[in-house]
Amino acid sequence: MWEVELQRRCDRNRKRSKRRAIYCPVHGCYLDSVSQKYQIFADRPSQLQQRGMSRQNASMLIANKTAVPIEGEWLEAFWCEHCQQKNWYYVRKADGGTYELSLAPQELWQQVTGVIDPQGNPSVSEFTRRHARLVSFQGMKDFQFVI
């Protein structure tokens, strides 16, 4: 009787959350997360239709809410131990606790909030971008003053 009770306690302890089984699509090694999850939002009915929603329901949902969060899909950065680099992946949670990974396509960056656009802010001029990258400041060289 004593052994049966110990076994039950051990089984109860095994119900703790486990590490997510996310593996590199290239090398097959375990990937370590190096960022938070960035949730994906749909802002057009076609984005919801691609995920199986009817055209009418998708149109009504987007009309009522400007952006709809998409469940089970996000962008996240992972570190691959084999190739020693960080990559951004589009992650989809599949049935059975498995995950599908693919490199994050450019179109998805516009559907995510809270991340910096890799191409930079489109409203910022090239002059400002160039000066933000400069190490030293030589202000008068770029300004053409006529005296």
Residue 110 lies in a domain: yes
In-domain check, residue 61? yes
Task: Please indicate, yes or no, if residue 95 is contained in any of the structural domains.
Answer: yes
Which two tokens mark 136?
Answer: 């030293």
pTM above 0.95, yes or no: no
- pLDDT tens string 51-86: 899 999 999 998 998 788 899 999 999 998 888 889
CB 59 within 8 A of CB 47: no
Structurally, the chain folds into a number of domains equal to: 1
Q: Quick check: is 13 in a domain?
A: no
The model's confidence at residue 117, banded by pLDDT at 50, 70 and 90, is low
Three-class secondary structure of residue 93 per DSSP: strand
Total residues belonging to the chain: 147
Instruction: Grade residue 106 by pLDDT with cuts at 50, 70 and 90.
Output: confident
Mean pLDDT of the chain: 80
User: Is there a domain that residue 93 lies in?
Assistant: yes
1-27 tens-digit pLDDT: 445 455 566 666 666 666 788 888 888
Q: Where are the alpha helices (DSSP H) in 14-144?
A: 45-49, 55-64, 126-133, 139-142
- Note whether residue 5 is domain-resident: no
Structural domain including 96 reads 42-115
51 domain-assigned: yes
* Whether the predicted pLDDT of 44 surpasses 70: yes
Neighbouring C-beta atoms of residue 129, cutoff 10 Å:
11
CA distance 96 to 11: 21
Q: What's 8's DSSP letter?
A: H
Cα–Cα nearest to 103, from 112, 114, 117, 92? 92
In a domain, 79, yes or no: yes
